[in-house]
Structure 1
Amino acid sequence: MKTRLITVAALLSSTVSAGAVSLDRSGQSITPLFLDGNQVQLSFGFTDPSIDGQNQAALGGAPIANVAESFVTAGLAIKYQFNEKLSFAFIVDEPYGSDTFYVESPVFSTLGGTGATVDSTAYTALGRYKFNDAWSVHGGIRYQEISASVTLGGLAFNTPGTFTPGTATGVNGYSGNFGSDGAFGYVIGGAYEKPDIALRVALTYNSGTTHDLPTVESLPFGQISAPGATTEVETPESINLDFQTGIAPNTLLFGNVRYARYSDTDVQPAGFFGATGSSLTDLEDGFDFSIGIGRRFNEKWSGSISAGFSTEGDDDLISPLAPTNGSQFIAIGGKYDVNESFAIAGGVRYTFLGDAIAAPGDNPVADFESNDAVSVGLRFEYAF
């Protein structure tokens, strides 16, 4: 019972979206697999980013309004314990996402009309087998669907030579719509536990998935993609290291390290590549780090506080589709046990977004500094 009481505090950090590396949203957490007994969790999150900037002085220094749109996430987890050794979890989450748009006029601004939307849903079925109280292995399959759309607008995309080799008219007004496609991947890992001190260290590998997205590309003069065209997109493989340990009665230290290999996510639709010789994406591998303390105050209330950061890229030159570079966050969470079967958890997270320079084709055009995001989350838990 003592282990269960302090372990719940570690779950509070996942109420608010944990991922910050590149397109990460959920962080692909498998924490529900380690819950005691049988449980259903339903979670919701809302994030309101503020990412504004200004054109560089050489380009007039005009302000750029907030380019990040708020978004909602939802998740479902079902965990079932077959016996003392074997358990199962089914997890639905949104692993990747993006919502950016520059509202300025594409005729009179550097980046007006530029934007990107990425949507995804993943369904993960996991099993866990305990050899003894200390060692266990886990693994399963993941089915993932993903879709996206990209627009490029503004004078930054209208200058010959912005991309290599460049064209006479540039790609101002480019539109790429990438329809939904589903693909399978896998998850595998292991864990070491010492129940008397609530110690657990779990290492999990998530395979990448390869998608062939139905593609329609156009420029102002007309469609530039072939009928029935597809674009191959590989979502990144990743490794999660989760740990927790009791440090005092009813008090838990917990944390997470995540590595995602985004350099494999290279989007080269045929029409865009033919016109520019370049990819739509310029993503780098990255790490997420977090650490926190959870505390069980009494039979009803638990709370936690955590902090963390995401690593920066090699330089501050970033695609205008995601004009931030690294981040730091602080989060607080709380949980109320209504009765033995039902509980409600919630959390708030404040994220400091790293400064970046929007540079299409590595040509600096706009500075983004001192930006942030606020996230709130709510989770309902039912034990059966």
Structure 2
Amino acid sequence: MKRTLINVVVLGTVIGSSLVQAGGFDRSGQDTSIILKEGNLLEVLSVSVNPKVTGKYGAAIGGGDTGETLPNYSYTTMAFKTDISDEVSIAVIQDSPYGAHVGWTSGTVGSSYSGINAEIKSSATTILGSYDVADNVTVYGGLKSQSVSATVANPLVNGYTLTTNTDSSMGYLIGAAIQKPEIAMRVALTYHAKIKHDLAAIEAFGASAYPSAPLSLYTPEAFNLDFQTGVAANTLLFGSVRFAKWKQFIVSPTVYVGAAGQPLKEFTQNPTTYSIGLGRKFTDQWSGAVTYGTESAEGVEGGPMGPTDGYSKLGLGVTYTGDKATVTLGVQKVDLGDIDVVGPSVLSAKMTGNTALVTAVKVGYKF
């Protein structure tokens, strides 16, 4: 397949990155677009996320401000792709597909969520291969080695803590793309299989540790639909739809569930993420784009491990293209969905009017 692209499409990847997908757990979006690009490439993407997520505690637990509940964080994704022949290419992608970090900072312990902290980390290495089965059709697929770990501290449940090892498991992905180069059109559909992790968990209440069954987690199976098409000279419409079966993702440690009567985190819906953008090539070196994205809210009451519900986002970006290198800068303003955080039969906190600022830099090099 002749992989003809207008450079502005890279902005859709850069300013589409965000912490907020699926309540903050879906981070990289599992982008595999490098396998469909032309030539031998190395790409590095650096993303910084600054959320401002606060609320008011309910009167039943003392009232007052919650303080910040989501710390700042950053991550880096690397991808390499080379052509083996006119029809065959391979790529290696290193990313952090999933993650979460909550930290409730204000209020008096015992009458608020102060001191609740939880962090889930992941890392994945994906090896992809593609084959051009016709002038305008490419199929691709590969294997993914993914690692996950978790830590939790919840002083409200008898000083509960959880620590796990880092478990590594294998998964796979497959996809196909069709292209019409004369109008810069491409549509790609990628399927990511769910991956099971059996984590060795140590649960404790204060200084008393308890035996625990393995903590089994499933990162969800997902479908990514990515598209682009020229709509005028040097102007590109592009976007994506991501559907992940988030109800497969349940954090349910045995001892905690026995004490609290509910999982640490679970989803009641499978929210779908949408984005659309318009890019414009101004000169041979400079291009820009604007994107809009949204994710449907679950629409249910939540807990302290998920203090947002759905979002809308607006992003701007600019790309400079040289002979060998391409540099893209992007910024994104995210309006986070409101949610009521509830405890046993009472309103614990009301989270409203929250935002996040995402900045990203992507550097690509052709060789």
TM over 0.5: yes
Normalising by structure 1, report the TM-score. 0.90
Task: Tell me how far 1:359 sits from its aligned partner.
Answer: 1.9
Query: Distance between the aligned counterparts of 1:80 and 1:224, measured in 2?
Result: 50
**Matched-pair contact (CA < 8 Å) for 1:42–1:77:** yes
Alignment partner of 1:347 out of 330, 340, 364: 330
Name the amino acid aligned to 2:39.
Answer: G
Structure 2 counterpart of 1:305, from 261, 283, 290: 290
Q: TM-score normalised to the size of structure 2? A: 0.94
SS in 2 for 1:24: coil
CA separation of 1:131 and 1:189: change in aligned 2, threshold 3 A: same
SS of aligned partner of 2:9: helix
Partner Cα separation in structure 1 for residue 49 and residue 172 of structure 2: 28
1:194-343 equivalent positions in 2, closer than 5 A: 194-220=180-206, 222-226=208-212, 229-283=213-267, 284-315=269-300, 317-337=301-321, 339-343=322-326
Q: How does 1:1-384 map to 2 (within 5 A)?
A: 4=4, 6=6, 8-16=7-15, 17-18=17-18, 20-22=21-23, 23-104=25-106, 107-153=109-155, 157=156, 171-220=157-206, 222-226=208-212, 229-283=213-267, 284-315=269-300, 317-337=301-321, 339-360=322-343, 363-384=346-367
Give the CA deviation at 1:222. 1.1
Return 5+ residue gaps in structure 1 as ranges: 158-170
Taking a change above 3 Å as real, the CA distance of residues 34 and 3 of structure 1, as seen in their structure-2 partners, is closer
Per-residue deviation, residues 234-268 of structure 1 (Å, max 9, x unmatched): 11111000000000111100000001111111222
Query: Counterparts of 2:79 and 2:345 in 1: how far apart (Å)?
Result: 42
Deviations 1:249-302 (A, max 9, x none): 111000000011111112221211232332111223111000001111101111
For the residues of structure 2 that align with 1:106 and 1:214, how far apart are their CA atoms? 32
What's the CA shift string for 1:158-198, capped at 9, x where partnerless? xxxxxxxxxxxxx2421111221110000011111111111
Who is 1:168 aligned against?
none
CA gap 1:145/1:362 in 2 versus in 1, 3 angstroms: farther
Relative distance call for 1:236 and 1:144 in structure 2 (3 A) is same
Measured against aligned partners, the alpha-carbon deviations of 1:346-382 in whole angstroms (never above 9, x if no partner) come to 1001100000111245743100000000010011111
Contact 2:116 2:154 in 1 (8 A): yes
* 1:26 Cα deviation after fit: 0.3
Q: Take 1:109 and 1:249, find their aligned partners in 2: how far apart are those partners?
A: 61
The separation in 2 between residues aligned to 1:120 and 1:29, in whole angstroms, is 15
Change (3 A) 1:188 1:360: farther
- TM-aligned CA distance change 1:60 to 1:373, over 3 Å: same
Q: Unpaired segments of 5 or more residues in structure 2?
A: none
SS in 1 for 2:8: helix
Distance 1:134 1:127 in 2: 17
Work out the CA distance in 2 between the residues paired with 1:65 and 1:369. 13
* Cα gap change, 1:256 to 1:196, in 2 (>3 Å): same
> Are the counterparts in 2 of residues 118 and 148 from structure 1 also a CA contact under 8 Å?
yes
Q: Which amino acid aligns with 2:151?
A: S
> For the residues of structure 1 that align with 2:127 and 2:93, how far apart are their CA atoms?
7
Give the whole-Å Cα distance in 2 for the aligned partners of 1:238 and 1:251: 30
How has the CA–CA distance of structure 1 residues 345 and 373 changed in structure 2, closer, same or farther, with 3 Å as cutoff? Answer: same
Q: Secondary structure at the match of 1:294?
A: strand
Q: Tell me how far 1:314 sits from its aligned partner.
A: 3.5
Taking a change above 3 Å as real, the CA distance of residues 360 and 235 of structure 1, as seen in their structure-2 partners, is: farther
Contact 1:357–1:367 (8 Å) recurs in 2:
yes
Whether the aligned pair in 2 keeps the contact of 1:11 and 1:31 (CA below 8 Å) is no
Question: By how many angstroms is 1:60 displaced?
Answer: 3.4
Report the CA distance shift for 1:258/1:150 in structure 2 as closer, same or farther (over 3 A). Answer: same
CA contact (8 A) 1:3 1:197 kept: no
Shift of 1:224: 2.2
CA distance in 1, matches of 2:227, 2:18: 15
Pair 1:53–1:247, CA change in 2 (3 A): same
**8 Å contact 2:160–2:203 — kept in the other structure?**
yes
Q: Mean Cα displacement is larger for which, 31-40 or 171-180?
A: 171-180
Letter in 2 for 1:237: E
- Bigger CA drift: 79-88 or 38-47? 79-88
